[in-house]
Structure 1
Amino acid sequence: MLSEQAVRTVRATLPAVGGAIGEITPIFYRRLFAAHPDLLRDLFNRGNQANGSQQQALAGAIAAFATVLVERPDVRPDAMLARIAHKHVSLGIRPEQYPIVQEHLFAAIVEVLGEAVTPEVAAAWDEVYWLMANALIAIEARLYQQAGTPDGDVWGSYRIVGRRQETDEVVTFLARPADDRPLPAHRPGQYVSVQVELPDGARQIRQYSLSGQLDEALCFSVKRVAGERSGSGLLDGGPNGEVSAWLHDHALPGTLLRISAPAGDVHLDAADTRPVLLASAGIGCTPMIGMLGHLAGTGSTRRVVSVHADRSQATHAFRDDLALLTAKLADADAHVWYEEPAGDWPADRTGRLDLAGLDLPADTVAYLCGPLPFLRAARTQLLAAGLGAADIHYEVFGPDLWLAQG
């Protein structure tokens, strides 16, 4: 909890800091990368830095955490902290990196707000930062311990042993530990980080959902992210898609990759027996097909409803798997919507996904994955249908902008 003095100061300055956070975070990252260029080259996603989404996510997290501290001091935003901690663990973030972030973040705050940052204001926001940082460090320590990597070394060498073309844009890779050790424990819906060395020497990292396990190998599926190249030669003016393109073009059987231990706070609860809804759009189907595969593989008797939205049949990854796995379950059905369907496709399944017409029991637990507009629309529909907010779980690929966009 914040000290009483800090609560008063943060409450008084939150509008100013929150209003300027959009200016503060770019300056923070500029300072951080100037002092530690290796972080941009080998840790931070250059695509998210180029398009500004990482800055938005950081701004949303800081503002949300500070707001909770001053408005609801007896409540800790565990869901937000867990989401951030899992991302950090998948990257191997360590406690000694938090002071580095604090140094450059506070320098950026002073640069933007100037004389308004009195010693009292600086001390109050320092409390906010370290309350958040220490909470994350504690959660991350537990996650590292659970993963069997208490020292934070979550990385292992894996060999690609197979690849399957799901669509023109999506490939599933099968990877086994190169030293023949057992596969790491993971839960349906989790993801791994994959690090590749690019032509310029950068070792960039991206997270990919586990779409299942096959032939003693982890399966992760990658959609090639494409975009128009700018005059600099970068996709959309930034290096978006550079890792997915490298994997599609170069990760052939025999290729060695550095892959992290599985992480992710949105995963299927195997002990839960309530009805379950798996809802996805586009490449958001990857964690859902992993969950569905687990349910089918364990002979689950739960009521299972799978729904998916895509551009067309040709872009729908795991289309056949969805039908096959649903058929294996005792009480399951699947519903699919296409925006541009081919052939004789039902009119009521053309366009955007609509959950309003589905018969979902009130005690249904829902898992969602897809673009942010899809998540917002689906969550709104599920709340209107009577599902509890705590039973609607979502996964976002890339920085979580939910908080940043309000």
Structure 2
Amino acid sequence: MLNDQTIKIIKSTVPVLEKHGTDITKRFYQLLFTSHPELLNIFNHANQSQGKQQTALANAVYAAAQNIDKLETILPVVKQIAHKHRSLGIKAEHYPIVGQNLLAAIKDVLGDAATEEILQAWAEAYGVIANVFIGVEAEMYQQSERQKGGWTGFRGFRVKNKVKESDVITSFYLVPEDGGAIASFEPGQYVSVKMEIPGEANTYIRQYSLSDAPGKPHYRISVKREDAVLSKPEGKVSVYMHEHINQGDTLWLSAPAGEFILDQQDIRPIVFISGGVGLTPLVSMLETVADSQPERHVTFIHAAQNGDVHALRQQVEKVANRSRQVSVYWCYDKPTDRDREKKAYDIEGYIDLPWLQKIIPTKEASFYFCGPVQFMKTLYSSLKEWNVAAADIHYEFFGPSGSLEETDGAQVEVVVP
């Protein structure tokens, strides 16, 4: 545990971190990848180039400093972060490397203001926090390997089938090359895919939600092709998978992970709201609820630009057709003429609170949502305005976690060990 003097010193650095946090994390990654270029095989290069990872880490360091005297306020996110680390293959030996480079970055950016006393305090604080992560992750590695059909590291899976779900989303049905059993998973979890792309210097690892229900002899991931748009770079892995990964090819997967999971003990009404490819974990949840809790009322809402890019529609409608408890609504903001002719959607435009209040039977429900960040911010704001209980609001970020409200310091993700 940290002594009172160390806590006092860390707290005194809060204003400095608020001002210079991103500069520190930018410098940290420069130092880290210069001294340990092999770690480029773990980190998401796109998030690096867009500054997402630097910002997420800066927010996490700031939150740790703010709450150093009451770490229990940020420790609930440890398990979420540890799931990501386990899926990426982060190990205990990585933590000293990160700590060394983080302290060096603080020294470089703050200069003489980073006294030996301050650096020592941060070294002690980092050690305490790192040990928590190491312990939680060690337990996760053991659980992943010991469960039926489980494994550690990355395991080869053969593409049994490749299905185009829309103009931009393709599903890959995956079975283990070794012919063995596969680990079960909680609806909402993801797998990491490790990819070596010809001509690229580094390995890429990306997380994809499992888009089918548990209990089947395969895993399914539904991947959106991310082409370059304005300042956003091309998604190298998604484009490569769409263009070059075919039936019979091999993908390397980590065991399922993630904390965005369906609470199957709850029997109250449930509301799923998705935008774009954000429907993938929710479809898995929907299938599970319909099969295991057939009396539970479900409202499933999906927003897409139009029918050309709307994936997994038929699967969702099949669930609704076999269950009177499932209500489905489609929202298109740029419908095509064909969509209009077929009356393929329920509303044109964007989801707002008055419409939600009209179609959702009660706010005394569990709400799960996933999609683009701005989409989720709008939903989060609407649900808070409706006075939906915070404990009933569940959501997933695709990529480094952030905040859905500017003052919500608890919604941070440490993106390095």
**TM-score, with structure 1 as normaliser:** 0.91
Counterpart residue identity of residue 195, structure 2: V
Partner of 1:81: 78
Q: Which residue of 1 aligns with 2:5?
A: 5
Amino acid at match of 1:398: G
Output the CA distance in 2 between the equivalents of 1:347 and 1:175.
Answer: 32
Q: CA deviation at 1:403?
A: 7.6
The equivalent residue for 1:384 is 385
CA RMSD of aligned residues (A): 2.3
Alpha-carbon spacing, 1:12–1:201, altered in 2? closer, same or farther (3 Å)? closer
State the Cα distance separating 1:363 from its structure 2 match: 3.1
**Inter-CA distance 83–405: structure 2 relative to 1 (3 Å threshold):** farther
- Give how far 1:27 is off: 0.9
The 1:244–1:363 alpha-carbon spacing in structure 2 relative to 1, beyond 3 Å, is same
Deviation at 1:313, TM superposition (A): 1.5
| Aligned twin of 1:138 | 135
2:50 paired with 1:51: yes
Residues in 1 aligned to 2:365 and 2:222: alpha-carbon distance in whole angstroms: 27
Note if contact 1:372-1:402 (Cα within 8 Å) is conserved in structure 2.
Answer: no
Q: Distance in 2 between matches of 1:205 and 1:217?
A: 20
Is there any run of 5+ residues in structure 2 with no aligned partner, and where?
A: 408-417
1:208, 1:50 → 2: CA distance? 20
Q: Distance in 1 between matches of 2:151 and 2:184?
A: 16
**Structure 1: segments with no counterpart, 5+ residues:** 230-235
Match of 2:170 in 1: 171
Q: Which moved more, 1:108-117 or 1:347-356?
A: 347-356
Superposition map of 1:268-347 within 5 A: 268-341=262-335, 342-344=339-341, 345=343
- How much does 1:270 deviate? 2.0
Any idea what SS the aligned residue of 2:210 has?
strand
Residue aligning to 2:369: 368
How far off its partner does 1:210 sit? 0.3
Residue 75 of structure 1 deviates from its aligned partner by 2.9
Q: 2 CA distance for matches of 1:274 and 1:130?
A: 42
Give distance in 2, aligned partners of 1:35 and 1:5.
32
Cα distance in 2 for residues equivalent to 1:277 and 1:243:
31
| 1:15 partnered with 2:12 | no
* Counterpart residue type for residue 48 of structure 2: Q
Classify 1:169/1:380 alpha carbon distance in 2 versus 1 (closer, same or farther; 3 Å): same
Moved more, 179-188 or 380-389: 380-389
Contact 1:60-1:404 within 8 A present in 2 as well: no
* Alpha-carbon displacement from aligned partner over 1:247-289 (angstroms, at most 9, x marks no partner): 1111111101110000010011222212111111111011111
Partners of 1:54 and 1:274 in 2: how far apart? 37
Q: Deviations over 1:8-60 (max 9, x none)?
A: 212211110231111011111111111111111x1111111111111111111
The answer to whether 1:157 aligns with 2:156 is yes
The CA distance in 2 between the partners of 1:24 and 1:395, in whole Å, is: 27
After superposition, give the CA deviation of every residue in 1:100-120 in whole Å (9 maximum; x if it has no partner).
000111101000001111122
The residue aligned with 1:120 is: 117
Change (3 A) 1:225 1:216: same
Q: Percent identity at matched positions?
A: 37
Aligned partner of 2:191 in structure 1 is: 192
Matched, 1:37 2:26: no
- Residue 98 of structure 1 is matched in structure 2 by 95
**Would the alpha carbon gap of residues 401 and 182 (structure 1) be closer, same or farther in structure 2, given more than 3 Å must change?**
same
Query: Which residue number in structure 1 is paired with residue 202 of structure 2?
Result: 202
Q: 1:376 to 1:404 in 2, by over 3 A?
A: closer
Report the Cα offset of residue 215 of structure 1.
5.9
Q: Is the 8 A contact 1:61 1:404 kept in 2?
A: no
Do 1:64 and 1:403's aligned partners in 2 also have CA atoms closer than 8 Å? Answer: no
What one-letter code is carried by the residue in structure 1 that aligns with 2:238? S
What pairs up with 1:390-405 in 2 under 5 angstroms? 390-402=391-403
**Deviations 1:373-392, CA, capped at 9 Å, x for gaps:** 11111112122223211221
Deviates more, 1:359-368 or 1:198-207: 359-368
Shift of 1:201: 4.1
Distance (whole Å) between structure 2 residues aligned to residue 209 and residue 174 of structure 1: 13
